[in-house]
A = this chain, B = another copy of it.
Amino acid sequence: MDQLDERQRTVFCAVVEEHIRAAEPVGSEHPAVRERLGVSPATIRNTMAALEEMGLLTHPHTSAGRIPTDAGYRLYVDMFQEAEALSAAERQAIRRRLETSAEDPSAAAGQAARVLAFVTQYLSVVASPGLQHQTFRSLHLVPLGERRAIAVIATDSGGLQARMIDLPEGIGPDDLEQISQAITHRLQGCRLADLTHERLEQIVGEASWHHRLLAEVKTWLGRELARGGHPRIVMEGTRHLLREPEFRRPDAATQLLEALEEESVLADAMAAAPEQGLWISIGAENRREELRGCSLVMATYRAGPQVVGTVGIVGPTRMRYRRALAAVRYVADRLTETLKAFE
């Protein structure tokens, strides 16, 4: 869209930014637009008409100002990939909030969602694909009383999954130790996604240990993986959505919330994200119809080389994209940094 001349660009940006700021159609007489150029409203009107012709702006009705179309926003974000800078205080708030994640990666998603909602004032979403995308590191069976044990799976990205299991009769601590080591040995380095039930059967089953116990561990692993299949999604900051003028109409809000609370919608939408870098989906660009009224800004985060999750925000198409970009990128980067410890 470089076919915009100098003036068109200026007018276009002024309209987008003013509309993002004020949430209202921007007229040709609007100071924000006029200030940037030395020309009269009439001239601006001509330019606006041209921009509308190109499909970048539109009219809610005859006598209203212009608002950007989805295509307009798209052009805008493509023009301004360089994001707005976060203030030092904001950066610090984010870092502080995520520090604790280093100690407890399982809480990282929640923390990230919280701080992102706070900084952006939009609804934030963090999807952590659970075990699915992680690499098996070790299994430990720790005896706990006579007939019970704690089983812990550790993954390379610092993930831990603990649960209790019942023991068949006649299994001693030594047996547990032996089984732990054997399973650890056989599964180490295995991507958990590759551990189908059959595979598990094959790898583990060929040994002839105490069968009942093995069966129990096996079903657990299987179930844990099944659950890891659809990522756990944490949402935070629903309240911010309701404050946006575009969602003040009660059923607009209801519809959106219903969509968001159904996990598959967000999961779908986020599945379209590339593995690397920032990713923006504006209005009609969204796969799921329910999200056509909003925009998503997303980024993946990694533990070492492995992508382990997605952070992002959901807001109206009239979103403060530059700020959102900055915040999402910063949070994703810090998360990645934090999880480096477990590389």
Taking Cβ atoms with an 8 Å cutoff, the residues of A that contact B are 100, 103-104, 137-138, 140, 142, 144, 150, 152, 154, 158, 160-164, 220, 223, 236-239, 242-243, 248-250, 253-254, 257-258, 261, 342
CB distance from A107 to the nearest CB of B (A): 8
A338–B104 CA distance with the chains assembled, in angstroms: 27
Report whether B239 and A164 are in contact in the complex, using a CB–CB cutoff of 8 Å: no
Q: Which of B104, B142, B150 contacts A163 (CB 8 A)?
A: B104
CB distance from A164 to the nearest CB of B (A): 6
CB distance from A70 to the nearest CB of B (A): 24
Q: Of all chain B residues, which has the CB nearest A257? A: B239
Q: Mind listing 16 A-B residue pairs with CB under 8 Å?
A: A103-B220, A103-B223, A138-B144, A142-B142, A144-B154, A150-B154, A150-B160, A160-B164, A238-B257, A238-B261, A239-B254, A239-B257, A239-B258, A242-B254, A243-B254, A249-B250
Q: Cβ of A253: which chain B residues have Cβ within 8 Å of it?
A: 242, 250, 253
A220–B254 CA distance with the chains assembled, in angstroms: 42
Chain copies in the assembled complex: 2
Report whether A163 and B103 are in contact in the complex, using a CB–CB cutoff of 8 Å: yes
Report whether B163 and A152 are in contact in the complex, using a CB–CB cutoff of 8 Å: no
Q: Of all chain B residues, which has the CB nearest A245? A: B250
Q: Of all chain B residues, which has the CB nearest A140? A: B142
CB distance from A318 to the nearest CB of B (A): 17
Q: Cβ of A243: which chain B residues have Cβ within 8 Å of it?
A: 254
Q: Of all chain B residues, which has the CB nearest A237? A: B261
Q: Of all chain B residues, which has the CB nearest A163? A: B104
CB distance from A108 to the nearest CB of B (A): 12
CB distance from A80 to the nearest CB of B (A): 30
CB distance from A302 to the nearest CB of B (A): 18
Shortest Cβ-Cβ A-B pairs, 10 listed: A160-B162, A162-B162, A248-B250, A239-B257, A242-B254, A239-B258, A140-B142, A239-B261, A104-B163, A238-B238
Assuming A160-B162, A164-B160, A164-B342, is B150 touching A150 (CB within 8 A)?
Answer: no
